[in-house]
Amino acid sequence: MRGERRKSKRHGRRAILAVLVPILAACGGGAGGTRSSGDGSGHGGREASDALPSAPRGALWADGFGPTLREASLDARRAVSEQLDARIASHLDARETEDSLRGGSRDVSQRVRTESAFEHAELIEIAGEEKRADGYVVRAFLRREKAAAVYREEIAAEGEKLAAIVPVAEDALGKADAARLLRTDRGPGHFIERLTNKGRVLARLDDRGGALEAAVSPDALALERRLSAARRSAVLRLSVTGDVPPAVRAAAVEAVAQRFAARGCALTETPSTPPGPVPAPVADVALTLALRTGHEAGVDWRYLGLEVEARDAKTGESFFRFSAMPDLAKGGGKGLDKADRGLVKHLAERLPAASEKAFEVLTCR
């Protein structure tokens, strides 16, 4: 049994290294370089050009290739941006691997997915280009100090916005204001996320750091934790109107409830307010259904439209609305029962994609 445990541990460490080493290798150890295809050659197996001007000292740089000058330039810019992103991802993975070996339980992949990509491709400059028989090679570079200055300015601006919204969020928390608490754009959370993402990029551009810590105060982080607790206790009371068959009604309620659940929100038609240290925000969610029937070439058709609106239960303020009238989904068949079954299936397929953007403003987390 001990031998099996030792073998399992060795296997686990090898699995971690198998994930970590390629990412670290993508970073390189220096300031920049050509994209590698894994065999030591340039991008796509092509050699980098010794004739092109060197990038400034300390800059991130890469060579791009393409059949046209434009495509080669885009490829070079993309290579520089990806190089910076790889540095950020490897930094997060390395930290997370260390935590995991000490018994931590955080999810590496989730942390990497939330890190921000480099947002300023316009700062990537072209050092030179060379014409070849099969196309072009272009050398691009990013001046670290120039990019770091831009990110420092943006972090300072975002920090001012965060400071301004803190008292507004405090007031919403005290009043259990669902219209302000359950919107992603009305609380400090999205500012903290943006500041964190920008801070990760800045940390890889400029080792001095410090701007992120100055912008995101411990008080703002503590407030966001309190707001999150209040959002998780939110009560969303569902009401449904519309003359539709029971099966269609049930399918529509389930499909809409799943969209809310994806944002951490639980809809209920039999609400109860949970006890807690602060009043729970309460919202009234109205689901309106509209069904029409058609007949064509011996086939019966059903067409369903729906609209969802959420209002603060105390103030009546509307803070969310999604409308897909008159025809979100349809179903056809010999007889209305078959048409309804087709409609229910189509609704489950259509609603997530049609409403994804609208639901991004909601959060109960």
Question: pLDDT value at position 89?
Answer: 57
In the chain, how many H helices and how many E strands?
10, 8
Question: pLDDT value at position 138?
Answer: 96
N-to-C CA span, the chain: 43
Most distant pair of Cα atoms in the chain: their distance: 75
Question: pLDDT value at position 93?
Answer: 47
Strands (DSSP E) found in 60-161: 60-66, 125-132, 135-142
H helix runs in 176-282, sequence order:
178-181, 189-205, 211-215, 218-232, 246-261
Regions of the chain with pLDDT less than 70:
1-49, 86-117, 207, 209, 211-212, 271-278
Question: pLDDT value at position 49?
Answer: 60
Per domain, the residue ranges of the chain are: 2-141, 146-231, 233-359
Instruction: Give the Cα-Cα-Cα angle 14, 17, 18 (nearest 5 degrees).
Output: 85
State the pTM of this model. Answer: 0.69
Question: pLDDT value at position 276?
Answer: 57
**Are the CB atoms for 35 and 79 separated by under 8 Å?**
yes
Question: pLDDT value at position 13?
Answer: 39
Question: pLDDT value at position 278?
Answer: 59
Count of CA atoms in the C-beta half-sphere (13 A) of 342? 15
Question: pLDDT value at position 87?
Answer: 59
CA distances from 238 to 18, 62, 260, 269 (A): 49, 55, 11, 5
Please state, in angstroms and rounded to a whole number, the distance separating the CA atoms of residues 72 and 130: 10
**Are the CB atoms for 259 and 352 separated by under 8 Å?**
yes
Enter the CATH code of domain 233-359.
Answer: 3.40.50
